[in-house]
Amino acid sequence: MLHAQVAYLMRSAGIPTLHIKGPTVALWLYDEGERVWGDVDILVPPSQMEDALEVLLCAGFDERFPGVTRRTTTDHAITLVHNIPGDPASVGAEVDVHDRFEGIDADPEWAFDQLWRRREPDQLGHVDVWFPDIATRALLIALNTARSDTPKAREDLARLIRTGDPEDWDEVVWLAGRVQALPALRAGLEVDPAGAEIVRATRLSDVEVSPEWALRRAGAPRTALRLEELGRIPWSRRPGVLARWLFPSPAIIRMRDPAAAGNIFRLVGGYLRRLRDGLQAALPSVRALLRIRGDARENGP
């Protein structure tokens, strides 16, 4: 029902909206009731991200993490929460509003337009919604596994691989190439041994997994990802970027560390814990980065 409510609000505001993850996977790869989903994930054009958030906030949704907005974070999604009076089942129900999907490196506005052109109609709660087409769903499942290797993500990927025909993957690979998602697609597929077979049978075998996605697939610390990203940033920008990473806004600190919520002393403690954790992760992160780069030089694409 929350999907239906969000779909109605977005359609009334004229905001193109793709419902992704949860129901688009459960209603396709699982039997009825076999895979539950709770939160709502939607993908909207980056140019209309602020409008989408404003529509939901005006409809009674709240920021899941107060102060974490498009202006204070570069995360790929902003989380809102809605507690419907008199409906205990709605308590804590979240809506993740995405303006891009991690692993797709093409310009986010252009990439959304490509996925929007491929949309398919469906219904949730008797309300018309838009789902990604099958090739897009397959791509997003693989990308989600690459960035978040959880048991649920692995099961989604395993079922996807068992369901798909070999020729179906040619279209998925073509789409990944169009939206610049080939390295992340390969990284995600290779989480599953059967997915590695798909890589070898398609042009993905000629694609090099970038250090970023190799680190993600290996479950490297967040600090390793930061160091890898820092190496790709021009020297002139590095001091400012490093300062933002070390000392993000208080809202980001409270989101990452709930114990930092409250008074100024708790907040200071949150910053200190962040610095401590970063220092502790520095050496393992450097080792992970060197190992990934060494593997890339040794094995090639």
The DSSP code for 210 is: P
Do both 130 and 255 map to the same domain?
A: no
Q: Where a domain ends, among 173, 194, 211?
A: 211
- Res 90: pLDDT: 54
At residue 134 the predicted structure's pLDDT band, cuts being 50, 70 and 90, is very high
Q: Are residues 135 and 271 in the same domain?
A: no
pLDDT at 71 over 80: no
Question: At which of 190, 211, 232 does a domain end?
Answer: 211
Residues 134 and 279 in one domain: no
Supply angle C-alpha 99, 103, 108, rounded to 5. Answer: 35
Q: Residues 158, 235: one domain?
A: no
- Number of helices followed by number of strands (H, E) in the chain: 14, 7
Kindly state whether residues 201 and 256 are assigned to the same domain: no
Last residue of a domain, one of 157, 176, 211: 211
Predicted TM-score (pTM) of the model is: 0.88
pLDDT band at 87 (very low <50, low <70, confident <90, very high): low
Place of tokens 């996977």: 25
> Which of 82-96, 106-120, 129-143 is predicted with the least confidence, judged by mean pLDDT?
82-96
pLDDT tens for each residue of 168-192:
899 999 999 999 999 999 999 999 9
Read off the CATH number of the domain in which 115 is found. Answer: 3.30.460.40
Integer angstrom CA distances of residue 58 from 55, 160, 250, 284, 300: 5, 38, 24, 45, 51
Residues 57, 172, single domain; the answer is yes
How far apart, in whole angstroms, are the C-alpha atoms of residue 179 and residue 17? Answer: 18
Q: Is the pLDDT of residue 101 over 70?
A: yes
**72 and 53 belong to one structural domain:** yes
31, two tokens:
């039997």
Alpha helix (H) residue ranges in 148-209: 151-163, 166-178, 182-189, 193-201
| pLDDT tens sequence across 4-52 | 999 999 999 999 999 999 999 999 999 988 988 878 999 999 999 999 9
180 & 256 share domain: no
161 and 95 in one domain? yes
Which range of residues forms the domain containing residue 275? 220-299
Same domain, 206 and 243: no
Distance CA 98, CA 8 (A): 17
Whether residues 126 and 270 share a domain: the answer is no
Q: Report which of residues 221 and 49 the model is more confident about.
A: 49
Q: How many domains does the chain have?
A: 2
When mean pLDDT is compared over 85-89, 115-119, 206-210, the highest value belongs to 115-119
- The DSSP symbol for 208 reads P
Same-domain pairing of 71 and 99: yes
Distance in angstroms between the alpha carbons of the first and the last residue of the chain:
45
